[in-house]
Structure 1
Amino acid sequence: MNWQIEDAAVLIIYVLIIVFLSVKFKAKHWEEVFISRKKLQWWIAGASILMFWWNPANDMMMMGILIEEGYVGSWLVHNKLIAVGIAPIIFAPLWARLKFVSDNHFILFRFSGVGAKVLHQFRALYVGYVVVVFLSSFGIIGMSKMLITVFDLSYENSLLISFSILALYLLKNTFKQKVRTDILHAFIYLATLVITCMFIFNEFGGFGGILSDLKQNYENQIKLVPESTSFGEDGMLSTFLVFVLVQWWSTNVLDSSSPEAQRYMSTGNSREAFMAAFFPVIVGVFIMFFVSLIQDTLMLSYLKQDSMPDSESWYIEGTLSYLPSGFRMLALIAFMAGFITTIEAFINWGASFLVDYYRTYVKKVESVNYQKISYMSMYLILSSAILVVIFNDSLLSLQKLIFSISAGVGPVFVLRWFWWRVNAWAQLSAMFSSLFFALSFDLAYENSLVFQTFIDDISGMMSIGYFPLKLVVLTILVTFSWITVMYMTPADDTAILKRFVKQVQPGGIWPKHWQSGAVKLSKKLFLAILYAIINILPIFFIWEFKYGVWWKAVGLLTLFFILIVYILRRIKT
Structure 2
Amino acid sequence: MSHLDWAIVGGYLLFSVALGLYFSRRALKSVDDYFVSGRSFPWWLAGVSMVASAFAIDTPLGITGLVAENGIPGVWFAWSFVLGGAGTLGAFLFSAMLRRSRIITTAELIELRYSGPQAAVLRAFKGLYFGVFANAITLGWILKAVWTLSEVVVPGVNRDLLLFVLLLFTLIYTAMSGLWGIAATDFIQFVIGSVGSFLLAFYAWRYIGGIDQVVIGFTEKYGAADAGLRLSFLPEVGTPFFVTFVVFMTLKWWGNPPPAITQRIIASKNEQDASKATLFFAVLAFGFNYWPMIFAAMVSLIAFPDASSPETGYAMLLTTLLPSGMLGLMMASLMAAFMSTVDTHINYGASYMVNDIYRRFMVKEASETHYVRASQVSTVLMLLVSVVVAYNLDSVADAWYYMSMITAGYGIVIVIRWFWWRVNAWAEITALATSGITSTVLSPKFAQALGYWEAMPDIRWQYRFLIVVGICTVSWVVVCFLTEPDDEAHLVAFCERVRPFPAFWGPIYRRYPHLGWRPNFGRACLLWGMGAVGVYAFCFGVGSLMFLRYAQAGGLIFVAAVIAYLISRLWRP
**TM-score in same-fold range (> 0.5):** yes
Range with bigger deviation, 375-384 or 524-533: 375-384
| Equivalent residue runs for 1:246-257 within 5 Å | 246-249=251-254, 254-256=255-257
The question of whether the paired residues in 1 share the 8 Å contact of 2:72 and 2:294 is answered with: no
Change (3 A) 1:320 1:402: farther
Q: Secondary structure at the match of 1:224?
A: coil
- Which residue pairs with 2:304 in the alignment? 302
TM-score (norm 1): 0.89
The question of whether the paired residues in 2 share the 8 Å contact of 1:438 and 1:474 is answered with: yes
- Which residue pairs with 1:85 in the alignment? 88
Counterpart of 1:13 in structure 2: which amino acid? G
Q: Does 1:187 align with 2:187?
A: no
Q: Secondary structure at the match of 2:289?
A: helix
The question of whether the paired residues in 2 share the 8 Å contact of 1:61 and 1:396 is answered with: no
Counterpart of 1:561 in structure 2: which amino acid? A
What is the distance in 2 between the residues matched to 1:281 and 1:342?
A: 17
The question of whether the paired residues in 2 share the 8 Å contact of 1:57 and 1:138 is answered with: yes
The question of whether the paired residues in 1 share the 8 Å contact of 2:61 and 2:311 is answered with: yes
What is the distance in 2 between the residues matched to 1:30 and 1:136?
A: 26
What is the distance in 2 between the residues matched to 1:228 and 1:392?
A: 34
RMSD over aligned CA atoms reads 2.6
- Which residue pairs with 2:210 in the alignment? 206
- Which residue pairs with 2:109 in the alignment? 106
Change (3 A) 1:518 1:366: closer
Q: CA deviation at 1:398?
A: 6.0
What is the distance in 2 between the residues matched to 1:212 and 1:567?
A: 41
Q: Does 1:94 align with 2:103?
A: no
| Equivalent residue runs for 1:412-423 within 5 Å | 412-423=413-424
What is the distance in 1 between the residues matched to 2:10 and 2:538?
A: 37
What is the distance in 1 between the residues matched to 2:71 and 2:553?
A: 21
Q: Secondary structure at the match of 1:369?
A: helix
The question of whether the paired residues in 1 share the 8 Å contact of 2:63 and 2:294 is answered with: no
Q: Does 1:551 align with 2:551?
A: yes
Counterpart of 1:327 in structure 2: which amino acid? M
- Which residue pairs with 1:342 in the alignment? 341
Counterpart of 1:165 in structure 2: which amino acid? L
| Equivalent residue runs for 1:97-496 within 5 Å | 97-152=100-155, 158-159=159-160, 161-173=162-174, 174-215=178-219, 218=222, 219=224, 220-221=226-227, 222-224=230-232, 229-230=237-238, 235-249=240-254, 254-256=255-257, 258-284=259-285, 285-303=287-305, 307-356=306-355, 357-367=357-367, 369-392=370-393, 399-442=400-443, 443-447=445-449, 450-456=452-458, 459=459, 466-496=460-490
- Which residue pairs with 2:9 in the alignment? 11
Residue by residue over 1:237-263, the C-alpha shift from the partner in whole angstroms, topping out at 9 and shown as x without a partner, is 3333223333222xxxx2225121221
Q: CA deviation at 1:17?
A: 1.8
Change (3 A) 1:435 1:374: farther
TM-score (norm 2): 0.89
The count of corresponding residues between Structure 1 and Structure 2 is: 551
What is the distance in 2 between the residues matched to 1:216 and 1:562?
A: 40
The question of whether the paired residues in 2 share the 8 Å contact of 1:141 and 1:393 is answered with: no
Range with bigger deviation, 347-356 or 237-246: 237-246
Q: CA deviation at 1:495?
A: 1.0
Q: Which of 488, 498, 501 is the equivalent residue of 2:492?
A: 498
Q: CA deviation at 1:354?
A: 1.0
Range with bigger deviation, 61-70 or 334-343: 61-70
Which residues of structure 2 form unaligned runs of 5+? none
What is the distance in 1 between the residues matched to 2:198 and 2:327?
A: 13
Change (3 A) 1:248 1:265: closer
Counterpart of 1:134 in structure 2: which amino acid? I
The question of whether the paired residues in 1 share the 8 Å contact of 2:17 and 2:170 is answered with: no
Residue by residue over 1:550-569, the C-alpha shift from the partner in whole angstroms, topping out at 9 and shown as x without a partner, is 43333222212221222122
Which residues of structure 1 form unaligned runs of 5+? 460-465
Counterpart of 2:407 in structure 1: which amino acid? S
Percent identity, please: 23
Residue by residue over 1:136-161, the C-alpha shift from the partner in whole angstroms, topping out at 9 and shown as x without a partner, is 1121122221222222269xx53564
The question of whether the paired residues in 2 share the 8 Å contact of 1:404 and 1:438 is answered with: yes
- Which residue pairs with 1:463 in the alignment? none
What is the distance in 1 between the residues matched to 2:209 and 2:248?
A: 36
